[in-house]
C-alpha cells in the first residue's frame, strides 16, 4: 500500500497537478489615531500578518480632506507594504478614491522605502479610480504600494488574500492550437497554449514559425494570437526549465473568396454603383460594405486615400466629386465608383443679444463675458468711462473698442466644431458715429483678447465692413473658418444684435485661373498706335488686370508711380493703357481669387516714334545729325562705340 501511495504521488507530480491552495483574507482596519507623521503598523484580521503604513501628513481618519482612510504620496516617501508574510499574496483589493498607484512584489522583505521604483516586479499600475481587485500572477511574499504620480493618493477598504502553499513547477509536454488546423473559408485568429507552469505559476514561453521551418528558442516568441489570413503551416514548441516539447504542427488552408463589390448606402438608402451625380448633404455619413474584404480603401477624386480595416466602413462626405470604394483581401480587390454632388445643409444661427449676455461695465474699464450657442464665444467689451451716470453704458449693446492695447475689444470664437457661414451686425441707432468693423478668420482658436503686434486679432483679415446705424449689415463667408474674430475700427462701437450662422463645411469651389488678357490692337506682338493714344487691355469678367512696363531706352527710370513690384492696376477687368513717348516692353496679367492668368507681352515704340533708320527724313545736307544704337534705338549723347548716324537722307555706320 505504501508503494502504491508513493507511486500515485510521483504520478500526480509528473502529470503537473498543482497542490490545492487554502487562502485567507486580511482586512486593514481603519486608523483611528490622528498623527502628523508616522510609520504605523497594522495587524491583518485573519492571519496576523503585519502591514506597514508610512503616512506623512494629515490624519488617518480623514487624510487629504476626502474622508479617505489612507493617503500616500511621492513627495513625502509614503507607501503601504507588508512587514512579514503568511504564504504568498494572491490578490489585493482596494477602493482607489483619488490618484494613481503602482504595485511591486518581491520574495525578499522591503527595507528601503520612498522610491517610486522599488526592487521587485511591477505587477500592476492602476490609473482609474474605483473599487478593484489586483490579481497577482506568480508567487510573491511581499508587496509595495506607491503613488504613481506626484499627486497624493487616497485609498479606502484595503484587503489581501494569502495562499499558504505554492504551486509546484510542472514541465510542459505539448502545445495546442485553437482553432485546430483545417480548411476555412475566412481568415482565422489562432491562439497557442502550453500545459504546465513554472515555480511562480506562470505559463511556459512558446516559440513558433509560420514559414515551414522548425521552431527553436530563437524563433518568434508567442505573445498574442496569430492572424492566419492565407494558407500556412504553424509550428510551435514550449520551453520549460529542463525540457522542450516536441514540435506541434497545425496546417491551415484558407479558401477565402474574393471581396464583393462595395455596397454604399446613405440615409438608409442604397446608392447604385452606376449612379452619376448623386446629391448628398455636406457632412453626410455613408456606409460601405464589402463582403469577404479585410479592409476597405476610400479614395476621393481630389484627396488622400483612407484605409479602414474590416469588411465595413463609414466615411463622411465633405466635397463634390468622384469617389472610389475598394474592398480588399488576400484574394484581390473589387471596387465601386460613385460621384457625389454635395449640397450645403441649413445652418444654425446664434443670435447674441445683450439681454442674454448681461454685459454691463459698471465703473469698469474692461469686461469679459462668455456665451455658448452653437459654438463658444468670448466677448471683450471695453468701456473707458466711470461714474454712476455711465454704469450701464453697455446695457443696450455690445461694446467694442480698437485703440486701447491693454483692454481691447472684440468678439472671438474660442471653441467650435462648425464652420462660419455668415455674420450679421446691427449697430445701435442711438450711437453718434457710424463705425466700421473687421471680420477675421482663423484656423486656430483664440485663447485671449490680446492683439497681435499690428493691433489686430490674429488670423486672415477677410473684410472691412461699413456699418449703418440701426440696420443689419451681413457678410457671407466664401472660405472655411472654424474660428472668427470681430473687431471695431476707428473707435468704440455698440451693437444691438450680432447674429452668426454656423453649419457644415462650405463647398468652396477651387479658383480657376482667368485667360490671358487680350489686346485687340496688338499685331505681331506690338501695338499699332501713336504716342499718347490709348488701348484697352481686357481680362475675364470678375478679374483684375495688372500691367508692368519696362523702358527700353533707360530701364532704370520708372515711368510713373507703380504698385507692388512694378505692377499697375485700375482694379477692374479692363486696363486703359496710354502709349508712352519712349519704347517699352509691356506685360499684362489677370488675377481672380488670387489665381493669376498667363502673362501677355507686347512692345510699344515700333512705327510710332523714331526707333530705327528706316524712317528717313527729307533730303537735306543741313539736317541735324541723329544717332542710333545698333538696335535702332535713338541715343541723344553717343559716346565711345559704334552707332548709326542719320543726317537728312544720309545714313552711315560710325565709330565714336
Please tell me the predicted confidence (pLDDT) of residue 46: 60
Tell me the residue ranges of DSSP E strands in 321-478: 321-329, 332-343, 348-352, 367-372, 376-381, 398-400, 410-415, 419-427, 436-442, 460-466, 472-476
pLDDT of 504 over the 90 cut: no
List pLDDT tens digits, range 308-366.
Answer: 999 999 998 888 889 999 999 888 899 999 999 888 766 788 877 553 333 333 334 44
Q: Which pLDDT score is estimated for 360?
A: 35
pLDDT at 24 over 90: no
* Strand order across the beta sheet in which 121-126 lies: 38-43, 50-55, 79-82, 142-147, 101-106, 121-126
- Sorted by where each begins, the domain ranges of the chain are 23-163, 175-254, 263-343, 348-503, 518-604, 610-656
Model confidence at 597: pLDDT above 60: yes
CATH 1.10.10.10 fits 23-163, yes or no: no
Percentage with pLDDT > 70 across the chain: 74
Confidence of residue 377 (pLDDT cuts 50, 70, 90): confident
Is the pLDDT score of 569 beyond 90?
Answer: no
CA distance 552 to 557: 10
- 598-655 pLDDT tens trace: 888 888 875 333 334 444 444 455 667 777 776 667 777 787 777 777 776 677 777 7
Residue from 451, 454, 437 nearest 489 by CA: 437
More confident of the two residues 64 and 274: 274
Instruction: Report whether the peptide linkage leading into residue 179 is cis, meaning its omega lies within 30 degrees of zero.
Output: yes
**Has residue 460 got a pLDDT over 90?**
no
Judged against a pLDDT cut of 60, whether residue 26 lies above it is answered with yes
Is the per-residue pLDDT at 500 higher than 50? yes
Pairing of strands 153-163, 70-72: antiparallel
Residues 101-105 have a mean pLDDT of 91
- C-alpha cell recorded at residue 540: 475675364
| pLDDT tens by residue, 52-73 | 777 644 444 444 444 556 777 7
Topology of domain 175-254 in CATH is Immunoglobulin-like (2.60.40)
Predicted model pTM: 0.34
> Quick one: fold of 518-604?
Immunoglobulin-like (2.60.40)
Same fold, 23-163 and 348-503: yes
| Whether residue 204 has pLDDT greater than 80 | yes
Class of domain 263-343: mainly beta
- pLDDT > 60? residue 589: yes
Architecture per CATH, 348-503: Sandwich (2.60)
Confidence band for 386, pLDDT divided at 50, 70 and 90: very low
Amino acid at each position: 500500500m505504501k508503494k502504491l501511495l508513493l507511486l500515485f504521488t510521483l504520478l500526480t507530480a509528473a502529470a503537473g497537478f498543482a497542490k490545492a491552495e487554502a487562502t485567507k483574507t486580511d482586512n486593514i482596519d481603519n486608523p483611528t489615531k490622528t498623527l502628523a507623521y508616522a510609520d504605523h503598523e497594522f495587524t491583518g484580521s485573519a492571519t496576523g500578518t503585519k502591514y506597514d503604513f508610512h503616512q506623512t501628513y494629515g490624519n488617518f481618519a480623514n487624510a487629504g480632506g476626502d474622508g479617505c482612510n489612507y493617503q500616500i504620496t511621492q513627495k513625502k516617501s509614503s507607501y503601504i507594504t507588508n512587514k512579514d508574510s503568511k504564504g504568498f499574496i494572491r490578490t489585493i483589493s482596494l477602493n482607489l478614491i483619488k490618484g494613481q498607484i503602482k504595485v511591486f512584489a518581491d520574495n525578499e522583505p522591503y527595507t528601503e522605502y520612498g522610491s517610486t521604483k522599488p526592487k521587485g516586479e511591477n505587477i500592476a499600475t492602476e490609473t482609474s479610480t474605483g473599487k478593484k481587485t489586483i490579481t497577482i500572477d506568480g508567487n510573491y511574499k511581499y508587496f509595495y504600494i506607491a503613488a504613481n504620480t506626484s499627486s497624493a493618493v487616497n485609498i479606502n477598504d484595503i484587503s489581501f488574500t494569502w495562499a499558504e502553499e505554492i504551486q509546484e513547477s510542472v514541465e510542459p509536454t505539448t502545445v495546442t492550437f485553437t482553432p485546430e488546423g483545417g480548411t476555412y473559408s475566412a481568415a482565422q485568429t489562432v491562439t497557442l497554449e502550453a500545459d504546465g507552469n513554472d515555480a511562480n505559476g506562470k505559463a511556459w514561453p512558446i516559440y513558433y514559425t509560420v514559414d515551414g521551418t522548425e521552431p527553436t528558442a530563437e524563433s518568434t516568441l508567442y505573445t498574442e494570437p496569430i492572424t492566419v489570413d492565407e494558407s500556412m503551416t504553424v509550428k510551435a514548441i514550449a520551453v520549460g526549465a529542463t525540457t522542450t516539447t516536441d514540435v506541434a504542427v497545425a496546417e491551415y488552408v484558407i479558401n477565402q473568396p474574393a471581396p464583393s463589390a462595395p455596397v454604399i448606402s446613405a440615409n438608409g438608402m442604397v446608392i447604385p454603383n452606376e449612379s452619376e451625380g448623386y446629391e448628398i448633404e455636406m457632412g453626410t455619413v455613408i456606409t460601405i460594405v464589402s463582403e469577404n474584404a479585410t479592409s476597405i480603401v476610400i479614395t476621393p477624386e481630389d484627396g488622400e486615400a483612407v484605409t479602414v480595416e474590416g469588411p465595413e466602413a463609414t466615411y463622411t462626405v465633405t466635397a463634390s466629386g468622384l469617389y472610389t470604394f475598394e474592398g480588399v483581401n488576400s484574394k484581390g480587390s473589387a471596387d465601386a465608383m460613385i460621384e457625389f454632388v454635395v449640397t450645403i445643409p441649413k445652418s444654425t444661427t446664434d443670435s447674441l443679444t445683450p439681454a442674454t449676455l448681461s454685459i454691463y461695465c459698471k465703473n469698469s474699464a474692461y469686461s469679459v463675458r462668455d456665451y455658448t450657442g452653437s459654438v463658444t464665444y468670448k466677448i471683450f467689451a471695453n468701456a473707458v468711462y466711470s461714474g454712476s451716470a455711465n454704469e450701464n453704458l453697455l446695457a443696450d449693446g455690445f461694446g467694442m473698442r480698437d485703440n486701447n492695447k491693454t483692454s481691447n475689444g472684440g468678439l472671438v470664437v474660442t471653441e467650435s466644431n462648425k464652420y462660419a457661414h455668415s455674420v450679421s451686425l446691427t449697430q445701435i441707432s442711438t450711437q453718434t458715429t457710424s463705425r466700421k468693423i473687421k471680420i477675421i478668420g482663423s484656423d486656430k482658436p483664440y485663447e485671449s483678447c490680446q492683439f497681435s503686434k499690428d493691433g489686430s486679432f490674429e488670423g486672415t483679415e477677410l473684410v472691412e465692413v461699413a456699418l449703418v446705424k440701426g440696420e443689419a449689415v451681413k457678410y457671407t463667408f466664401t472660405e472655411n473658418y472654424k474660428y472668427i474674430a470681430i473687431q471695431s475700427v476707428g473707435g468704440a462701437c455698440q451693437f444691438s444684435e450680432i447674429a452668426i450662422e454656423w453649419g457644415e463645411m462650405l463647398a468652396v469651389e477651387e479658383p480657376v485661373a482667368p485667360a490671358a488678357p487680350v489686346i485687340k490692337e496688338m499685331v505681331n506682338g506690338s501695338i499699332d498706335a501713336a504716342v499718347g493714344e490709348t488701348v484697352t487691355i481686357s481680362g475675364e469678367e470678375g478679374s483684375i488686370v495688372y500691367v508692368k512696363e519696362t523702358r527700353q531706352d533707360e530701364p532704370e527710370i520708372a515711368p510713373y508711380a507703380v504698385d507692388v513690384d512694378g505692377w499697375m492696376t485700375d482694379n477692374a477687368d479692363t486696363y486703359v493703357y496710354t502709349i508712352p513717348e519712349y519704347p517699352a516692353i509691356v506685360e499684362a496679367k489677370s488675377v481672380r481669387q488670387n489665381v493669376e492668368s498667363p502673362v501677355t507681352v507686347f512692345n510699344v515704340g515700333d512705327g510710332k516714334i523714331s526707333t530705327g533708320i528706316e524712317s528717313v527724313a527729307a533730303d537735306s545736307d543741313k539736317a541735324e545729325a541723329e544717332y542710333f544704337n545698333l538696335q535702332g534705338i535713338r541715343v541723344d549723347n553717343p559716346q565711345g562705340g559704334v552707332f548709326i548716324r542719320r543726317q537728312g537722307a544720309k545714313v552711315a555706320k560710325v565709330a565714336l
